[in-house]
């Protein structure tokens, strides 16, 4: 019985840490302005929609990989799926949770757009280095 309690507490604390980590990543990206190219490609200027997350991730996967943001993108993808699960279950009963999950999903999409912007800039830098060489 004690082992089950310890396991349950550990899972809750891990989930709390994971949510805090993802929200800190999202908070850092919200301050960044998207380039005009990314705004044109994604259709996102200032307000992102959670329904566009899969499309932005697909665009993101078309760009050359940046090793430093691979884990962050994977974490935000997992967080987005967790939010989608909450939206489909608990949020049906509680409207305040539904509004919060929608806002968080929108911010996940904006994070993906910012990551796409970084990858496009990374691709430009790689191309410039190859041209110089």
Tens digit of each residue's pLDDT (9 = 90 or more) over 46-97:
677 778 898 889 888 888 787 788 889 999 999 999 999 988 888 778 888 8
CA–centroid distance for 4 within its chain: 32
Helix axes 70-88, 53-62, angle to 10 degrees: 160
Q: How far apart are CA 119 and CA 22, in angstroms?
A: 19
pTM, full prediction: 0.87
Q: How far apart are CA 48 and CA 110, in angstroms?
A: 6
The one-character DSSP state at 63 is: S
pLDDT digits (tens, 9 = 90+) for 105-131: 999 999 999 998 888 888 888 778 777
Structure token digits, residue 128: 């410039």
Which pLDDT does position 46 carry in this prediction? 67
Percent of the chain with pLDDT over 90: 31
pLDDT digits (tens, 9 = 90+) for 15-35: 999 999 999 999 988 888 888
């Amino acid at each position: 019985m004690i082992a089950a309690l310890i396991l349950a507490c550990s899972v809750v604390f891990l989930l709390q840490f994971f949510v805090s980590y993802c929200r800190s990543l999202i908070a850092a990206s919200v301050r960044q302005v998207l380039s005009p190219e990314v705004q044109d490609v994604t259709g996102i200027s200032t307000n992102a929609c959670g329904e566009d997350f899969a499309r932005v991730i697909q665009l993101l996967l078309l760009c050359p990989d940046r090793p430093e943001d691979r884990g962050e993108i994977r974490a935000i993808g997992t967080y987005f799926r967790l939010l989608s699960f909450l939206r489909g279950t608990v949020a049906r009963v509680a409207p305040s949770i539904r509004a919060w999950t929608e806002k968080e999903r929108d911010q996940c999409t904006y994070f993906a757009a910012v990551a796409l912007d970084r990858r496009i800039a990374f691709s430009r830098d790689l191309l410039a280095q190859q041209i110089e060489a």
